[in-house]
Amino acid sequence: MTIDRSNPPGLSKPTGYSHIAIVPAGRQLHISGQVALDAAGNVVGKGDIGAQAEQVFANLKIALAAGGADFSKVFKLVTYVVNLTPDKLPPVRAARAKYFGDGPYPASTLVGVTALVNPDLLLEVEVIAALD
């Protein structure tokens, strides 16, 4: 399935995402928000947003593979960051770039939140991918 990702004239130049992702009719994979828990349920990188971002994207890779997809099939990404400040963005963007490479990038939303389900968790990321 082809995903048409674009950044139309008149909108700002995005950093690591696309403004629009057009997906023709087909099956989709919706992945629940992933947090920095390892397979045993332990928090990885307590207090370290970079380490947590790496674990989150590693978890997303596993979930995508289980559904028959990879990061190239992701067309929507939503990131929730606890107590979002500009200094928290570089490590999150670095982890995201490691898995998405030079793109194409999904349509994305970044949201600052006051808390997640566990006070040791610093971010959560959910994705939607096209399967066919």
> Bigger pLDDT: 23 or 113?
113
Per domain, the residue ranges of the chain are 27-130
Encoding tokens for residue 105? 């990038």
Q: What is the pLDDT of residues 64-117, one digit of tens each?
A: 999 999 999 999 999 999 999 999 999 999 999 999 998 889 999 999 999 999
pLDDT of residue 1: 63
Encoding tokens for residue 47? 């207090």
**Cα angle 110-89-113, degrees, rounded to a multiple of 5:** 45
Burial 42-78 (b: 16+ CB within 10 A, else e): ebbbeeebebbbbbbbbbbeebbeebebebebbbbbb
What is the rounded average pLDDT for all residues in the chain? 92
Task: Note the pTM of the prediction, 2 decimals.
Answer: 0.87
CATH code, residues 27-130: 3.30.1330.40
